[in-house]
Amino acid sequence: MTAYQQLQDATQEARHWLLTTPIVNRALAGNVTREEYLAFLGQAYHHVRFTVPLMMACGARLPDHLNWLRTALVEYIEEENGHEQWILDDIRAAGGNADAAAAATPDPATRLMVAWIRDTVEHGNPVAFFGMVQVLEGTSTALATQAAERLQASLSLPDSAVRYLTSHGSLDIGHLAFFEEQINRLGTEDLAVVIDSANMFYRLYGAMFRGIEARCAGHSAAEELSHALA
């Protein structure tokens, strides 16, 4: 069994928890409100804006035996740089206030997600960053394009309001194939770190979606966090 298949198998339960999030299923059915879509974009902005800095931190801290991974990180940085601005453009095109979204305090699960991966990269094994890649890019290839099409149709959105989702649905298919190649080169100990990271990130990313749904339903901050981490 390849290392990538081991990663897929070891994260199956956590991945299922994310993919069965009610708001995700409703998005795939074209059954979310404009408020919920804008809330998703707002949270996406607050984690995507850290992607390139995290990649740079990861590259700077990789041990000698993982030097070859820096080449992959350079390619990722070139592809991901500036994507947070796409999200702000989507917010404007969807009728939201991009400046307010950028200035807002992120939801609890989003803050935990960014803080956890930053701390792990800076103080643990930086290869954990690739657990985040597994979650975000794997989820994008599975959901983004279909969700964008359904949301655009149900909310009557222009193409300019779903750029982040549509671009990542197609872009991340190529990324994921490249990612698989890198994972298959990892040794046992580093693979275990990526698996642990991906399992944590699936939970936190799923919590982010559950928190969005709770907040848009009018729950209090305490109730929102309770729903997110349930």
User: Which amino acid type is present at position 191?
Assistant: L
Averaged confidence pLDDT in the chain: 89
For the chain, percent of residues with pLDDT exceeding 90: 67
Q: List Cβ neighbours of 152 (8 Å cut-off, separation of 6 or more).
A: 159, 161, 162
CA distances from 34 to 41, 129, 154, 209 (A): 11, 32, 9, 15
Q: Which helix (H) or strand (E) holds 31?
A: none
Identify the residue whose tokens are 């974009």.
Answer: 41
Cβ atoms of 121 and 57 within 8 Å: the answer is: yes
Cβ atoms of 93 and 160 within 8 Å: the answer is: yes
Give per-residue pLDDT as tens, 83-142: 899 999 999 999 999 999 999 999 999 999 999 999 999 999 999 999 999 998 888 776
Token reading at 90: 């989507």
User: Which amino acid type is present at position 228?
Assistant: A
pLDDT at 209 over 60: yes
pTM of full prediction above 0.85: yes
Cβ atoms of 7 and 188 within 8 Å: the answer is: no
Around Cβ 193, how many Cβ atoms within 10 Å?
Answer: 19
Give per-residue pLDDT as tens, 153-180: 999 999 999 988 887 655 556 677 788 9
Cβ atoms of 58 and 129 within 8 Å: the answer is: yes
- Which is more confidently placed, 223 or 195? 195
Give per-residue pLDDT as tens, 177-187: 788 999 999 99
Cβ atoms of 114 and 51 within 8 Å: the answer is: no
Token reading at 107: 């939801």
202 closest CA partner among 79, 56, 24: 24
